[in-house]
Amino acid sequence: MATELPGYAELHCRSNFSFLTGASHPAELVERAQDLRYAALAITDECSLAGVVRAHVAARERRMHLIIGSEMRLTLPSEPHHQPHARLVLLAQTRRGYGNLSHWVTVARRRAPKGHYLAHPGDVEGKVPNAPTLTGLPECLALLVPDAAQSFDVVLAHAVWLKTWFQDRAAIVLNKPPGLATQGGTGTKEHVDGLLDAFGLDGPRPRLVHRLDKDTSGVLLIARTPGSAAYFSKRFSGRTARKIYWAIVTGVPDIADGLIELPLAKQPGTGGEKMMVDESGEGQSARTRYRVLDRAGNRAAWVELQPLTGRTHQLRVHMAAIGHPIVGDGKYGGPEAFLSGSISRKMHLHARRLIIDHPDGDQIDVTADLPEHFANSMDSLGFDEEDGAALPERPKPGKTEEKSAAKAHAKQVRKERRGERRGRADGRVATRKPPTKRGPTKGKGSPSSVASKPAAKAPAARRPGPKTGPKSGPKPPGKR
C-alpha cells in the first residue's frame, strides 16, 4: 500500500515475502512514483530488505532518490505479549547504515523458523556479542509508529527507549516555528533554550550554538554536550557551516544574483534592538549572497540567501537596504514590507538548509519544511519549491573571511607548536642526566678539547631600553 505525501512516497509491505505474494514490484513502485512526480521513494518490508537491487536499478535509470528500510514489531520486555505491537520503521541513511540494518535483519531471522523473525530491543543496546555496529544502529533513521490501541504509558516507554538508543550523540536539529524565541529576554518566558531543560534530566544539558530571530523559522542546531557545543561553535565562527535561507521579498531586485556588502551597527536609541547600515567606518563588516529563484511579475520575488557573516538581523537589514524588504518585516521595511490579498503578514524568512561537519567525521545536511503561512504564500504567488532544491555554489570568501580564516589557522599552528615545545621540554627534564666530569683530552678540534678550554669572559649586560611595541598579542592593523 502506498501512502501519498507531497513530493514523497512510502511503501509498507504486508509480510516477509510480500513482493512474491501480491504486493507491487519495486520497479513498478519507482515507475509509479515518477509518474506522480515524487522526489523520493522509501521502500520498507517487514524484517526484510527484499527487492533492493531491482529497486536501485530502476531508481538509477529514472534518476530518483531511493531510501531502503525495514520494519520491526516492537515489544519491550515489560509488555504483555498479547498487547498490540508498535511498528519500528528503520530507514538506511547511507550505505554503511544499510549494512548495519542488514545485520540486524539477519540476526532477527536466524532466531526464528523460516518466514518469521525475533528481534530483541537488546539487539541495539549492545547485547549482541561481537556486533558493535548494532548498538544504536548508526546511520539509520528510526520512526516509531504506535498502535492506536496502545496505552499512553506503553507509547511513552517506547518513546523513551527510542530516544535513548537512536538519538544522535552530538546534536539535536529542530525546525523552529515562527513566533518562538530562541533565547529568553525581558518579557519572554517561552523560548527554545528553556525547553532544553527537559533534555538534560538524564545527562548534560544541551546548548545553543547559534540563533534564529523570533519570527524566523527553520533549521536550528542544538549541541547535546559541552564538547560538541565547542566543536559546532568553531564551525559557525569559522564560516565553514553553510546556511541557506529562503525569503519572499517585495519587488524584484534588478540584479538576479548578487552580493551585498554593507557594514552594520546598532541603531542608537533602540537599546540594541535594531540594526542599521553604518558606512562611517564604525560598523562591522557584513556580506550576504542572494539569488532570485522566481518572481511574481514585479510584485514579489522568491530569493535564496546565504549569510557570509553572522551579524544580528543581517539578512533583514540588507534586503531592506537594497529596496526589497522581506515580506512581513515591518521593523525594517515599514508599510512597504506587506503585500495585499491573501499573502500573510507574518515574516517570510525561513532557514531552509544547514550543512555542517559532524564531530564523528560525517556531515550534517538537513532541510526544514516551510511553515504553513510561507507555503501558502508560495502557492498564491505561483512559486514551486522544486525550483530551489539544487544546492547553490559556495560563495568565494571575501578579504575579511580570508583574514579570519588565516588568523584561525595561525592560532591553531601556534597552539600545536606550543604543545610540541612543552612536550620536548618535559622529555628533557625527565631524561636529563648529571654531567660527567672529564679530564682534558688531547687532539686538535675534538669536542672535548674545545670544551676544556677556559670560556671567554662575557661582555657586561647592557640595560635594555624601553620597548616601543606591545609585549604580546596581535600586531596592530597596518603592521602586517
Q: How many helices (H) and strands (E) does the chain have?
A: 11, 17
Listed residues 112, 133, 167: the one ending a domain = 167
Position 476 scores a pLDDT of 45
The domain that holds 314 is classified in CATH as: 3.30.2350.10
Q: State the catalytic residue, choosing from 213, 278, 329, 362.
A: 213
Q: DSSP for 388-426, please give it.
A: G-SPPPPPPP-HHHHHHHHHHHHHHHHHHHHHHHHHHHH
> Could you tell me if 248 and 114 lie in one domain?
no
| R_g of the chain, CA atoms, integer Å | 31
Place of cell 552580493: 259
The domain that holds 139 is classified in CATH as: 3.20.20.140
> Could you tell me if 254 and 156 lie in one domain?
no
8-12 vs 40-46, strand pairing mode: parallel
> Could you tell me if 158 and 258 lie in one domain?
no
> Could you tell me if 19 and 153 lie in one domain?
yes
Position 322 scores a pLDDT of 96
Across the strands, what pairs with 480?
A: none
In a domain, 227, yes or no: no
**326 DSSP 8-state letter:** B
Distance set, CA 352 to CA 174, 220, 243, 288 (Å): 12, 10, 8, 16
Position 181 scores a pLDDT of 92
In a domain, 222, yes or no: no
Q: Do residues 422 and 416 lie in contact, with contact meaning Cβ atoms separated by under 8 Å?
A: no
Position 413 scores a pLDDT of 66
Between CA 301 and CA 256 the distance in angstroms is 10
Position 423 scores a pLDDT of 58
In a domain, 472, yes or no: no
Between CA 1 and CA 165 the distance in angstroms is 29
284-318 confidence digits (pLDDT tens): 999 999 999 999 999 999 999 999 999 999 999 99
* pLDDT-flagged residues of the chain (< 50): 1-9, 13-21, 429-480
Listed residues 373, 395, 417: the one ending a domain = 395
Query: What is the tally of structural domains in the chain?
Result: 2
Listed residues 115, 141, 167: the one ending a domain = 167
Position 443 scores a pLDDT of 44
Position 379 scores a pLDDT of 95
The answer to whether 197 is a known catalytic residue is: no
Residue 2 DSSP SS3? strand
257-261 vs 86-92, strand pairing mode: unpaired
Position 202 scores a pLDDT of 67
Domain that holds residue 12: 2-167
Between CA 452 and CA 466 the distance in angstroms is 39
Place of cell 602586517: 480
**Short-list 201, 73, 72, 85, CA closest to 154:** 85
